[in-house]
Homo-oligomer: A and B are copies of this chain.
Amino acid sequence: MSDFYSKKDLNFQLFDHLQVENLSQLAYFQDHSKETFEMILDAADQIASKSLRPLLTEMDRQEPQLENGSIKIHPGMRPILKQFGQDGWINATFSYEEGGQQLPWTLHLAAGYILQAANYSASVFPFLTTGAANLIRTFGSSALVERFTPKMYAGEWQGTMALTEPDAGSSLSDISTTGYPTENPGEYRIKGQKIYISCGDHDACENIIHLMLARVEGAPAGTKGISLFVVPKFIPETGESNDVLTEGLYHKMGYKGAPIAHLMIGSNEKTIGYLVGEENMGLKYMFQMMNEARIGVGMNAVAIAQAAYQASLAYAKERPQGRKITEKDLSKPQVPIIEHADVKRMLLFQKSISEGSLALLLYASRLMDETIHEPIPDRKKEKHLLLELLTPIAKSYPSEMGVLSTSAAVQVLGGAGYTQDFPVEQYYREARIHPIHEGTTGIHGLDLLGRKIFLENGLGWKMLYQAIEKDIKSYQGPEDILLLFDQSWKKSQDTAGTILQKAQEGPEIFLADASLFLELCGVLCVGWMWLRQTHVASQMIDKENADTAFLNGKIETARYFMEYELPKIHYIAKRLHSSAYPTVNMRSYWF
């Protein structure tokens, strides 16, 4: 039994709550079934437990080092990357023709959740390669596909996403790395620099394939002039250096096992980049793959929160301290701290965050699979817009709450949690990256309120409304849970109406509280997931041989969420109804 995630919960979520086996009704997934899905999950559990987990602490303590211009990482990663390739993890979702298994993203992401919970740093490597290969196979020429993807699929070459530059972090329109056309069509000399490139250089593979954003010389300003290039570290056929130099290695607070590089491109005028698709389409291509990446980051966050929850739960069950508050007899032995209501509160908080967020992420993943393979255009559009709306929420809520959830894990252990004797302090440090990378929470707030909610006359929100209303109508389970949810749902609709009216007051005021609106939507959507899970658990609990302890736990955790977390909607709503704007009015010189 793996102790870093709940296999029972993951099975409940996939098969009881979301019935993902029904995906096999779609032609692309027709060879799959519950059995093949279970095999995939078991295989992930094996590699996670046997290969990734044993390196969790070591990879944190023995950080990568920059030596003579190359980054050395933990030697244990090399066989792991090979194994990922050999076992078919990297291209699992791709078609049979591409050597893939036509696995749904839902299962790919669920398997990833297991790997990430085991050892987040180690899990980063193959997911980046999958993302990079996915861009090449989707938008690149067949020549590029044939030249680069097979060794990426094999786990021999690392893929990266090279977006950020020193003067262009959240503001991608300002990137200045430039591609100069050469005499060879599709080949450009690249010059510039990139920072914060995850797995941007390391010694556990033979080559690094950067999917790099850059401007073709003379391209229009802003996001419309950005192109996408394949920029390898070494020229595949010759093994010659492609003049991509590792200028620096960042030392980070957490997930130290994964190296983050600062790269100089074309310092000696020798870097060749291979254009993917057409010029000036780079950001568009990148954004078509963003939903996977962003749901992936949400999944990272929830996986770490889950691992921290499991560690603090195990401690709370074993650690004796104090007595029940009703027990005054000091000669009685101390009780495990899980008997104290405040400790149970911290555990319920974590359980409600990580299981509720996991449900939302798997819901979004299933929607992604359905969207990709939906044959009817109108339905495809509806599903797509709901997915677009849910993506910033499903990325940001688990990321922000993952910070608080791992903090609660530390608190359950008390002083022990602050020491390196237990893994929770590492989880706490690792969790802090997720509100930052793959778009900060502030950026996702703007994306949701400034863009997603208006697409196609608000079709995404309409789809969300219909989905929630449908679940409310069909709900069967404890009445108190429904009532609390329904109250907050009405308050959310009312607040959304109020905030949309503020669009008339200009973008600065309208968007000033976009992060808070995003937070409100996060609480609402995870509350919705708890309503759905309660419904499912309530149907199961009366059956013969039901796992009543597990199902009672589900329902009581839903009740916790509705009682303790959902009321945050009312506090955010109170703020969002106000017409005072201190964050707009404050002057920089008043600070």
Residues of A within 8 A of B (CB): 164, 167-171, 173-174, 195-196, 221-222, 250-254, 313, 317, 320-326, 330-331, 334, 336, 338-345, 347-348, 351, 403, 407, 410-411, 414-415, 417-421, 425, 428-429, 432-433, 435-437, 440-442, 445-446, 480, 506-508, 511-515, 549-550, 552-553, 556-557, 559-560, 563-564, 567-568, 570-571, 574-575, 578, 580-591
Name the contact of A253 in the complex, choosing from B429, B436, B512, B556 (C-beta under 8 A): B429
Contact residues in B for A418 (Cβ distance below 8 Å):
252-254, 432-433, 436
* A556 and B582 form a contact (CB under 8 A): yes
Name A573's closest neighbour in chain B (CB-CB). Answer: B567
Contact residues in B for A511 (Cβ distance below 8 Å):
325, 341
* A253 and B420 form a contact (CB under 8 A): yes
User: Taking A252-B419, A559-B580, A590-B549 as contacts, is the C-beta distance between A507 and B428 under 8 angstroms?
Assistant: no
Name the contact of A345 in the complex, choosing from B173, B321, B583 (C-beta under 8 A): B583
6 more CB-based (< 8 A) A-B contacts, given A326-B507, A342-B445? A325-B508, A345-B513, A351-B591, A407-B432, A550-B590, A560-B583
* B583 and A344 form a contact (CB under 8 A): yes
Give the distance to chain B from A151, nearest Cβ to Cβ, in Å: 29
How many angstroms from the CA of A575 to the CA of B129 in the assembled complex? 46
User: Taking A317-B588, A342-B514, A567-B571 as contacts, is the C-beta distance between A432 and B428 under 8 angstroms?
Assistant: yes
User: Taking A338-B588, A418-B432, A420-B252 as contacts, is the C-beta distance between A582 and B570 under 8 angstroms?
Assistant: no
Name the contact of A583 in the complex, choosing from B168, B330, B341, B582 (C-beta under 8 A): B341
Name A554's closest neighbour in chain B (CB-CB). Answer: B590
Contact residues in B for A339 (Cβ distance below 8 Å):
588
Contact residues in B for A341 (Cβ distance below 8 Å):
508, 511-512, 581, 583-584
* A171 and B571 form a contact (CB under 8 A): no
Name the contact of A591 in the complex, choosing from B164, B338, B587 (C-beta under 8 A): B338
User: Taking A411-B436, A421-B250, A575-B563 as contacts, is the C-beta distance between A590 and B508 under 8 angstroms?
Assistant: no
Contact residues in B for A325 (Cβ distance below 8 Å):
507-508, 511
Give the distance to chain B from A6, nearest Cβ to Cβ, in Å: 9
Give the distance to chain B from A44, nearest Cβ to Cβ, in Å: 23
Interface centre among A167, A480, A580, A583 (most CB of B within 10 A): A583
Contact residues in B for A345 (Cβ distance below 8 Å):
512-513, 515, 583
Contact residues in B for A575 (Cβ distance below 8 Å):
563-564, 567
* A480 and B253 form a contact (CB under 8 A): no
Name the contact of A330 in the complex, choosing from B173, B433, B515 (C-beta under 8 A): B173
How many angstroms from the CA of A549 to the CA of B45 in the assembled complex? 59
Contact residues in B for A587 (Cβ distance below 8 Å):
549, 552-553
* A583 and B342 form a contact (CB under 8 A): yes
Interface centre among A173, A435, A586 (most CB of B within 10 A): A586
Contact residues in B for A348 (Cβ distance below 8 Å):
582-583, 586
How many angstroms from the CA of A342 to the CA of B167 in the assembled complex? 19
Contact residues in B for A195 (Cβ distance below 8 Å):
415
Name the contact of A250 in the complex, choosing from B171, B344, B419 (C-beta under 8 A): B419
Kindly list the 3 A-B residue pairs having the minimum CB-CB distance in the complex, ordered from nearest. Answer: A553-B590, A571-B571, A171-B322
Interface centre among A344, A419, A440, A570 (most CB of B within 10 A): A344
Give the distance to chain B from A514, nearest Cβ to Cβ, in Å: 7
How many angstroms from the CA of A347 to the CA of B590 in the assembled complex? 11
* A556 and B585 form a contact (CB under 8 A): yes
* A174 and B560 form a contact (CB under 8 A): no
How many angstroms from the CA of A581 to the CA of B196 in the assembled complex? 46
How many angstroms from the CA of A320 to the CA of B168 in the assembled complex? 9
Give the distance to chain B from A175, nearest Cβ to Cβ, in Å: 12
* A480 and B580 form a contact (CB under 8 A): yes
Give the distance to chain B from A575, nearest Cβ to Cβ, in Å: 6
* B582 and A347 form a contact (CB under 8 A): no
Contact residues in B for A252 (Cβ distance below 8 Å):
418-420, 425
Contact residues in B for A196 (Cβ distance below 8 Å):
415
User: Taking A174-B334, A321-B169 as contacts, is the C-beta distance between A563 and B585 under 8 angstroms?
Assistant: no
* A560 and B586 form a contact (CB under 8 A): yes
Contact residues in B for A253 (Cβ distance below 8 Å):
418-420, 425, 428-429
What are 6 of the A-B contact pairs (CB < 8 Å)?
Answer: A173-B330, A195-B415, A336-B588, A480-B580, A563-B580, A563-B582
Contact residues in B for A351 (Cβ distance below 8 Å):
591
Name A574's closest neighbour in chain B (CB-CB). Answer: B567
How many angstroms from the CA of A588 to the CA of B419 in the assembled complex? 25
Give the distance to chain B from A461, nearest Cβ to Cβ, in Å: 22
Give the distance to chain B from A486, nearest Cβ to Cβ, in Å: 15
Give the distance to chain B from A355, nearest Cβ to Cβ, in Å: 11
Name A339's closest neighbour in chain B (CB-CB). Answer: B588
Contact residues in B for A321 (Cβ distance below 8 Å):
167-171, 174
Contact residues in B for A588 (Cβ distance below 8 Å):
317, 336, 338-339, 344
User: Taking A196-B415, A419-B251, A441-B411 as contacts, is the C-beta distance between A582 and B560 under 8 angstroms?
Assistant: yes
